[in-house]
Amino acid sequence: MEQQKAPVNNSLFSKEELQHFKELLQDEKEDAQDKIDNFQERLDELENKLDDTTSSSAHHQGNIASSEEEREKYYAMIEKQKEKIADIKLSLDKIEAGNYGICNVTGDPIKKERLEVKPYAKYSVDAIKEANNLESKSMSVKDTA
């Protein structure tokens, strides 16, 4: 039988488990930053292309509109990755504070399995289900009004 290690501070996890999650978070952070860099590079290329297109009257307005849509898509993807990095930093801070793995809504533990998949998770599955139920009820009330 494997001996359970003592949790760190108020954490639900042992020092070794926290180190594991810290490494997962660092990997996720690097991946998100790589995506931002890639999206930014594509965006820069697109903006250069758009500048060339707008300076040439020979290009069709539809091409310009399509490029604008693509540009907005890259901005949105960059923003999503920045939000992910912010969540990762928050999770790293929680590890240091000794309260990693606690749901921001319920205060209940987030299951380890969930954190293995999404180490920067802020909410337990139960909190997400409850939020979805409230949203569904709210929408059905609006539908009947």
Render pLDDT for 68-107 as a digit per residue (tens, 0 to 9). 888 899 999 999 999 999 999 999 999 999 999 999 999 9
**Structure confidence at residue 122 (pLDDT):** 96
> What value does the mean pLDDT of the chain take?
84
Given pLDDT bands bounded at 50, 70 and 90, which one contains residue 1?
very low
Give DSSP secondary structure letters for the chain. -PPPPPBSTT-SSBHHHHHHHHHHHHHHHHHHHHHHHHHHHHHHHHHHHHHHHHH-TTS-HHHHHHHHHHHHHHHHHHHHHHHHHHHHHHHHHHHHHT-TTB-TTT-PBPPHHHHHH-TT--S-HHHHHHHHHHHHHHHHHHHH-
Q: Of 71 and 21, which is predicted with more confidence?
A: 21
Average pLDDT over residues 46-59: 63
Can you list the domains of the chain with their CATH numbers?
15-144 (1.20.120.910)
